[in-house]
Structure 1
């Protein structure tokens, strides 16, 4: 199962989409855009999971595809 995560950057000025918590793919200004992109990638690579993290890097929400 592939894992994707959406987390704020260290300054909380942007949101980063990561694959397998290793390689950042893109950085977005808006959280919603980052979540949308992570969902899109997860949908194309089933089975997969998306975790949305808050500024403390705690899981806020998790989705499975």
Structure 2
């Protein structure tokens, strides 16, 4: 199962979409845009898990796609 994540950069000025917690796949100015992109990727590559972090780098939500 692939794992995707949406997390802020260190200054919380961008939201990054990562695959398997490696280098960012892409980044967005808005958190909602990053989540939408990551959801689409996870759905296309299901089964997959999406972890969404808040600006304190804590997991705020976890979504599974089967």
- TM-score, structure 1 as length reference: 0.96
**Paired residue for 1:38?**
38
- TM-score, structure 2 as length reference: 0.95
The answer for unaligned runs of 5 or more in structure 1 is: none
Q: In structure 2, how many angstroms separate the alpha carbons of the residues matched to 1:9 and 1:23? A: 12
CA RMSD of aligned residues (A): 0.6
User: Where has structure 1 moved over 2 Å in runs of 4 or more?
Assistant: none
Aligned residues: 65
